[in-house]
Structure 1
Amino acid sequence: MKEKAAKKRQRMQVFGLEGELPCVWMKAGVINFKLCDNAYNCLTCAFDKAMSGRLKEGDERLESWRAPYQAKPYGQKECRHMLSASVPFRLCGNAYDCATCEFDQVQETRTLTGETGRPPVRNVAGFWMADQTYYHRRHTWARVEHGGLVRIGVDDFTMRLLGYITQIRLPRLGAHLERNHAGWTFRREDKIAPLVSPMDGVVVARNHAAVESPDRAKRDPYGDGWLLVIEPTHLKRDLQELYTDDAARNWLLAETHRLESLVAVDTELPLAATGGEVIEDIYGNVAHLSWDRLVEEFLRP
């Protein structure tokens, strides 16, 4: 109960955005205090939609946050990508109508398909775990990025468990992923493993490089080995069900102990060295553990 309550209190972590981020309604002086928890993506923000709804209903106590910004001299009209620090300098010349802004569309495309930043990683019981990242209990991860989109992939535990992958099959663009259900599959020769989507959302980008070279997901699971970018449909709700920070570390420690008990009752999971990394191919090196058993225990929905 305490762990679940702590999850609900945690502030959303957005990769690449640090510190307290004032909402544009606050920055415009319309409201006294509100922090942004949607990466300055007003188009998908529930709070912005609610406030805009009140304006449409004729609430005379409010004005749009866009009005004060539009009244500013052009040199003070900061683009939302400048507000969120995703670009060092950019002024808005489109009346803050991001839905029809060509620069916004170009920036989103670059964010989706360009090189991703690599969050800091740490070694937890021989497995690498990325900071600034949310983890599903079935070993997939989610990272909230600029614009409120979410990049997802699989963790180092999964890649060491399966050893190597010969094929990655991802859903098509526009497909809807459902939290806790299979979202894509990994294949190792004739063996198949379904992987769980960590949250609900619509697929807006696929990592074609990882599809063409599946080893990329093993070499760099939290960076260039990402798999999909989705537009989440229940972002806050879904993040509350995922692990992050100390809760994620404790979960991975528990998973490692479960794996050790399956590998051998009286021996430790084989490590490269004390405090080092777990062997690269657990399935290929532990003869008595079948593929189906490993998938059922740790990965399958």
Structure 2
Amino acid sequence: MVLLIFVAFILLCLGVDAIVQLRKQKKGVVQEVAYSFPGFFSENTIVVPKGLYFDKTHTWAFMDKDGMVKIGIDDFFPHVTGLLTNIKMKNSGETIKKNEVFLSIIRNGKQLNIKAPVSGIIKAQNKALLTNTSLINSFPYSDGWVYMIEPTNWVREIQFLFIAENFKIWLRNEFIRLKDFLAVMQKTNETRYAHVVLQDGGELKEGILMDLRSEVWEDFQTHFIDTVK
């Protein structure tokens, strides 16, 4: 009888320990998947998934099995603008052309005009963006897609796009250009905003344009976005 009680006690202890360990594992999984923005961004924090084509206009394209192409903007602009509050989209049936404006992203009335990575006819809008623009900030490559198009010059135009690995390399120069733009801005009439766009050590803050005047957004459009060749 004593032996049976002892065995039962051991089994009970093992069971309690197993439950405790299981709870620790579950807690660990939650902590592992939890994500918080670091407060700064660089070419190393920009998400660039494999399997997509990327353009110098900071947009992406992906061809589905049915030949339709889904397009959107990459992870770069959401870090520059901060949380988007509105967008301007084209309608289904309209034609878009590579390197022409196909979307405007807006924050509190200040906007940037984004150019298309490829040409085609819009077959569908992502209507979810009309009521939840922040999907572009949170999920630019999935729920934040912009249009589904029927491509009209796909074979030729993808020759000018990047695969993920090459796009990451190209991004290094983009961050040099971005810092150059900010340096010029601060030397002219925006020195009071230096603490807004740069952290201690010169790292770029999230949403660097977020609190800057509309004139700065216009300069960014003219001297950064529109100068890409």
- How high is the TM-score relative to the length of structure 1? 0.52
1:151 aligned to which of 65, 70, 73: 70
Give aligned pairs, total.
176
1:292 aligned to which of 215, 218, 221: 218
Equivalent position of 2:165 in the other structure: 246
For the 8 Å contact 1:139–1:298, the answer to whether it is kept is no
How far does the alpha carbon of each residue in 1:231-272 deviate from its partner, in whole angstroms, 9 at most, with x for none?
Answer: 10111111011111332111111101111222348x9x7479
Does 1:220 find its partner at 2:146?
Answer: no
Residue 185 of structure 1 and its aligned partner are, at CA, apart by 1.4
For the 8 Å contact 1:283–1:289, the answer to whether it is kept is no
Question: Which protein has the bigger helix share?
Answer: 2
Does 1:138 find its partner at 2:57?
Answer: yes
Does 1:229 find its partner at 2:155?
Answer: no
Does 1:167 find its partner at 2:86?
Answer: yes
Residue 230 of structure 1 and its aligned partner are, at CA, apart by 0.5
2:104 aligned to which of 185, 191, 203: 185
In structure 1, distance between residues paired with 2:66 and 2:152: 14
Cα separation, partners in 2 of 1:144 and 1:298, compared to 1, 3 Å: farther
What are the equivalent positions in structure 2 for 1:1-301 lying under 5 Å apart? 124-264=43-183, 270=198, 279-284=205-210, 290-300=216-226
Equivalent position of 1:28 in the other structure: none
In structure 1, distance between residues paired with 2:225 and 2:110: 14
Structure 2 counterpart SS, 1:141 = strand
In structure 1, list runs of 5 or more residues that go unmatched: 1-122
In structure 1, distance between residues paired with 2:82 and 2:226: 17
Taking every aligned residue pair, what percent have the same amino acid on both sides? Answer: 28
For the 8 Å contact 1:193–1:300, the answer to whether it is kept is no
CA RMSD of aligned residues (A): 2.9
How far does the alpha carbon of each residue in 1:121-151 deviate from its partner, in whole angstroms, 9 at most, with x for none?
Answer: xx83332222211111111111122212111
Larger RCO: 1 or 2 (CA < 8 Å, sep 6+):
2
Structure 2 counterpart SS, 1:127 = coil
- How high is the TM-score relative to the length of structure 2? 0.68
How far does the alpha carbon of each residue in 1:167-186 deviate from its partner, in whole angstroms, 9 at most, with x for none?
Answer: 11211111111111111212
